[in-house]
Amino acid sequence: MSTSTALPLNEASACCAPLTRQPLDAEQAVDLARLLKAIADPARLRLLSIVAASEGQEACVCDLTEPIGLSQPTVSHHLKVLMDAGFLSRSKRGTWHYYALVPGALDSLATVLVTA
Amino acid sequence: MSTSTALPLNEASACCAPLTRQPLDAEQAVDLARLLKAIADPARLRLLSIVAASEGQEACVCDLTEPIGLSQPTVSHHLKVLMDAGFLSRSKRGTWHYYALVPGALDSLATVLVTA
């Protein structure tokens, strides 16, 4: 894993049909597992859900640390993992960084899992 | 994590609204992360996708080892993780065990992720 670059979510969704349609090959499974690992962490899920549930699906980093109860460096690390995996994007306005949900990123992942 | 029992998927879906609706609390995030971790592994994703894409969403264990290229004990371990997390069920017919996708399990997870 350490030798690979992060795979943007859009590429992952292009690579994988829904699981019920055809079995994943080895490469697709590695790509999909990497995306799932990025969100398979309680702190990252909480951060992602705070951003996702915020107005405009965007939140100031200044509003992300206190509710999670972790240090700023730890929160920054988790936010970076979510950005590297393509779930969040970041922009700077004034003093603060703002994190936004990348449109379609979570939905692409959901589409791979849906069996109906 | 080692002190908790596996949480059936149906309970997880009951616990969590879609991420865009409201932020997860700490307990919900732990439950959801546990489910995502169960599938965030290339071998388990491939096993799950073979079962999901099989007729009747069920496959004989005798058809699961060869395509993955792992030993039978390793495959059995991965199948147990998927069963413990509520994604697969197992039944015995004749000599062989058959693994079936638990109806609604993956869909419940997808519902939590969908943002639309």
Say yes or no: A114 contacts chain B, CB-CB below 8 A.
Answer: yes
ipTM for the predicted complex: 0.87
* Per-residue pLDDT at B16: 78
User: Does the distance separating the beta carbons of B22 and A29 come in below 8 Å?
Assistant: no
Q: Which residues of B9-21 are buried (b: 16+ CB within 10 A; e: fewer)?
A: beebbebbbbbbe
User: Does the distance separating the beta carbons of B45 and A33 come in below 8 Å?
Assistant: yes
Question: From residue B11, how far is each of B7, B28, B33 by CA, in Å?
Answer: 7, 10, 13
Residues in chain A closer than 8 A to B29 (CB atoms): 42-43, 45-46, 49
CA angle A19, A25, A30 (to 5 degrees): 90
> Which one is predicted more confidently, B22 or A7?
B22
Say yes or no: A85 contacts chain B, CB-CB below 8 A.
Answer: no
User: Does the distance separating the beta carbons of A107 and B53 come in below 8 Å?
Assistant: no
Tell me: the pLDDT tens digits for A22-60? Answer: 999 999 999 999 999 999 999 999 999 999 999 999 999
User: Does the distance separating the beta carbons of A49 and B22 come in below 8 Å?
Assistant: yes
Tell me: the pLDDT tens digits for B61-84? Answer: 999 999 999 999 999 999 999 999
* Per-residue pLDDT at B36: 96
Would you place residue A10 in the very low, low, confident or very high pLDDT band (cuts 50, 70, 90)?
Answer: very low
User: Does the distance separating the beta carbons of A114 and B106 come in below 8 Å?
Assistant: yes
Place of tokens 């690390």: A77
Residue A36 near residue B39 (C-beta atoms within 8 A):
yes
Tell me: the pLDDT tens digits for B6-54? Answer: 445 444 444 678 998 999 999 999 999 999 999 999 999 999 999 999 9
Say yes or no: B66 contacts chain A, CB-CB below 8 A.
Answer: no
SS3 state at A93: strand
Alpha carbon of residue A43 to chain centroid: 12
* Per-residue pLDDT at A12: 41
Residues in chain B closer than 8 A to A111 (CB atoms): 110
Q: Which CATH architecture has domain B9-113?
A: Orthogonal Bundle (1.10)
Tell me which of A103-107, A112-116, B6-10, B84-88 is least confident: B6-10
Size of interface A-B (CB pairs under 8 A): 113
